[in-house]
Structure 1
Amino acid sequence: MAAGRRTVLDPAQRYDLIVDAAIEAFAERGIARTTVSDVARVAGVTRGLVYHYFPTMDELVDAVLDRSVAAFVERVRLWDAEREVGQIEQAVHEVVVMLREQVHPGHPRRLDLRDPANSAVYQRFVDRAVAAVVDCLQVTTVEAYAARHRIEITHVREVFTVLVHGLVGLVRTQPDVPDEVLASVVRQVLRLDPDEPTDRHPGTGGGRPDLG
């Protein structure tokens, strides 16, 4: 590339560039201490361009949260597509693992929403993530489970919402709570059937699997 020649990005690419820079800046300085100037520096753009796409820092934070929520939902969809038919106990434990990954992420560039300075942002993330994940589960896991089992709870969406909110709060405030306890809570609240015998559906290999 010739010296001084600038790469021209379309609006969607510039938007993503700024969001990527915000994620990096938040990881370096913390959400509460990051300024628009910090984001502009990391992105290699002017402050004015950041303001063009995100007039307020709250809007930029929301864009970062939306990115995180979308990644979580995609993780749930991938899990749903790869589950083993009829293995409900295994499915419950896998859900517990996914939940821990989101509440206590180990990746250094993930947002540290446990920081008390980020409490308001954390609550926004949890509310959005729970709503999005429950919406995803309703059209994947819940429908698949209902096709093979009787659902023993009423107000399904509301129960799932309360359950996920409660599990997130429990894992966040008591990180040492055993996975077995969390799995037991899920089973009791949702009143799940036991695992199906492995030979109940011989030859099953395609299609969307049931809960498990």
Structure 2
Amino acid sequence: MSTTTSPPRLSKQPDERRDEIVDATRALFAERGVAKVSVTEIAKRVGVTRGLIYHYFPDRDALIDLIFEDHITEFVDAVSRWDADRETGNVQKALLDCVVMFRHHLRAKDMFRQDLGHPENAGLYNRFVDRAVRAIVDRLRVTTVEAYARAHHIEIEHVGEVFYVLVYGLIGLVRSTPDIEDQVLVAIVRQTLHLDVGARPGA
């Protein structure tokens, strides 16, 4: 009597499976919206059990936070490129280029970010913006702010807090008033930070 054995079941490496879960979550969020996607649907899309999803991520919010980080990293990297490319000492041009860069990322046709703007996702939107602004301000403090401080006296106190309020306010203003002129936004930044746009050496 002969017996047959089933071929060994192939299992994927942990990193590969984790990436599949993240990719499926990102795709489902884009297709159906963040609020409508459950862990069960994510598991079904990947072809695994709910339990395996929870093996990699403690809850649905952890998956959302990971996708947040993708977008935040993209924005922060753009800030770094702007800082590296800006013309030393030309504060006015740097401000205008920064405003253009901000507009580009806020207008990006990304379904995930657009979905966060819906009223039912207000809590998620606030969480996303708070984390994004803090990451942007942290990067600005160790790049642009330090460079400016080497050439000019910084006229404001509580630098990090002022930048947080400024960036948060600019995001809200551009979203609520998309036709606001770039020069108006530049003036708001300049006046809030008391920037010396006439002095060219150093920063």
Would you call these one fold, judging by a TM-score over 0.5?
yes
Note the 1:190-205 alignment, pairs <5 A. 190-196=193-199
With structure 1 as the length reference, what TM-score do the two structures score?
Answer: 0.82
Query: Which protein shows a greater Rg?
Result: 2
Q: Which amino acid aligns with 1:170?
A: L
* Runs of 4 or more above 4 Å deviation: 4-7, 108-111
Give 5+ residue unaligned stretches, structure 1: 202-209
Alpha-carbon deviations, 1:54-108, whole Å to 9, x = none? 2321221111112221221122112212222122122112221232233332245
Residue 41 of structure 2 aligns to which amino acid in structure 1?
D
Name the counterpart of 1:68: 71
TM-score (normalizing by structure 2): 0.85
Give the distance between the partners of 2:120 and 2:193, measured in 1 at CA: 34
Corresponding residue number in structure 2 for 1:8: 12
Question: Which residue of 148, 153, 164 maps to 2:151?
Answer: 148
> Would you say 1:114 and 2:117 are equivalent positions?
yes
Change (3 A) 1:162 1:60: same
Q: Hey, what's the Cα distance between the residues in 1 that align with 2:39 and 2:182?
A: 40
Q: What fraction of aligned residue pairs are identical, expressed as a percent?
A: 50
* Structure 1 SS opposite 2:34: coil
The separation in 2 between residues aligned to 1:75 and 1:7, in whole angstroms, is 38
Contact 2:39 2:50 in 1 (8 A): yes
Instruction: State the distance in 2 between where 1:128 and 1:107 align.
Output: 18
> Kindly tell me: are residues 180 and 133 of structure 1, through their superposed partners in 2, closer, same or farther at Cα, counting changes over 3 Å?
same
Matched, 1:33 2:20: no
1:1-212 equivalence runs, <5 A: 6=10, 8-9=12-13, 11-108=14-111, 110=113, 112-196=115-199, 210=203
More helix by share: 2
What's the CA shift for 1:16?
Answer: 3.0
Change (3 A) 1:89 1:17: farther
Cα separation, 1, equivalents of 2:28 and 2:47 = 12
Identify unmatched segments of 5+ residues in structure 2. Answer: 1-7
Q: CA deviation at 1:170?
A: 1.0
1:177/1:48 CA distance change after superposition, 3 Å: same
Determine the C-alpha separation between the residues in 2 that align with 1:6 and 1:80.
47
CA pair 118-81 structure 1, distance change in 2 beyond 3 A:
same
> SS of 1:112's equivalent?
helix
For the aligned residue pairs, the C-alpha RMSD in angstroms reads 2.4
Range that drifts further, 187-196 or 106-115: 106-115
Bigger relative contact order, structure 1 or 2, given CA contacts below 8 A and separation 6+?
1
Query: Shift of residue 163 of structure 1?
Result: 0.5
Distance in 1 of aligned mates of 2:41 and 2:68: 18
